Amino acid sequence: GDSVTQMEGPVTLSEEAFLTINCTYTATGYPSLFWYVQYPGEGLQLLLKATKADDKGSNKGFEATYRKETTSFHLEKGSVQVSDSAVYFCALSEDAGNNRKLIWGLGTSLAVNP
Amino acid sequence: NAGVTQTPKFRILKIGQSMTLQCAQDMNHNYMYWYRQDPGMGLKLIYYSVGAGITDKGEVPNGYNVSRSTTEDFPLRLELAAPSQTSVYFCASSYEGLYGYTFGSGTRLTVV
């Protein structure tokens, strides 16, 4: 079945460092891909998404490109802030445009130190 | 715009008690979901619904029940609470899966 694999955390960075969180997937169809963020004590929020190959999702300085050839959707940010400390989840839908059920990665915890 | 509202935010139950976690959304989303999130773990889907009157099991449905009598509400019922149900529960909704999920702020449940 479809699956999502994220790099294990925790990831600890200093402020203004470059961030990469790796996400790879296996899917039989043409999924949409998502990154969600969960700040401490809160629910998950959609951070960005991409619905087809080569699409780049971006939001709040974060970016991720849908790479079909490497089945990846890595999250990047050029300069992290303390306020970016959170847990980040990669997810895919079963088919493009139909995410009645998302398949979730286990989450990667990010801690940014001042 | 309230989005997805979950109540209560916190609850402590004794073993064998029952309770209902409430979830309401005001975005006219047809799909709704219940997840549980255990410490250090990802999300596990308990039940989901693709519209009023339609529900289906997710990965971990045992010990839970749901109903969907209206588009807006999707309550989760715990019968005979067990310590293994100690978790944080999230409700989410989606419109045809086109724009991702909107999550509630969660209910932290402890069974003692």
Closest approach of B17 to chain A, Cα-based (Å) = 26
pLDDT at A98 over 50: no
Listed by number, the residues of chain A in 49-88 with a beta carbon closer than 8 Å to a beta carbon of chain B are: 49
Per-residue confidence (pLDDT) for residue A30, from 0 to 100: 79
Q: Which of B101, B111, B106 is nearest to B76 (CA)?
A: B106
Supply φ then ψ for residue A88, to 5 degrees.
-115, 130
A46 in contact with B, Cβ within 8 Å:
yes
Per-residue confidence (pLDDT) for residue B1, from 0 to 100: 63
pLDDT at A16 over 90: yes
Q: For A28-65, how does the pLDDT look when each residue is reduced to its tens digit (9 = 90+)?
A: 877 889 999 999 888 899 999 998 899 999 999 999 99
Per-residue confidence (pLDDT) for residue A102, from 0 to 100: 85
Q: Which chain A positions have a beta carbon within 8 Å of B96's beta carbon?
A: 98
> Rounded CA gap, B39 and A109, in Å?
12
Per-residue confidence (pLDDT) for residue A96, from 0 to 100: 45
Across the interface, do A99 and B48 touch by the CB < 8 Å criterion? no
Q: Name the closest residue on chain A to residue B101, using Cα atoms.
A: A46
Across the interface, do B94 and A106 touch by the CB < 8 Å criterion? no
CB atoms within 10 A of CB A57: 21
Closest approach of A33 to chain B, Cα-based (Å) = 10
CA max distance for chain A: 42
Per-residue confidence (pLDDT) for residue B41, from 0 to 100: 75
> Rounded CA gap, A101 and B13, in Å?
30
3-state secondary structure of B85: helix
Q: For B20-29, how does the pLDDT look when each residue is reduced to its tens digit (9 = 90+)?
A: 999 999 999 9
The residues that bridge with A108 in the sheet, in sequence order, are A88
pLDDT at A22 over 50: yes
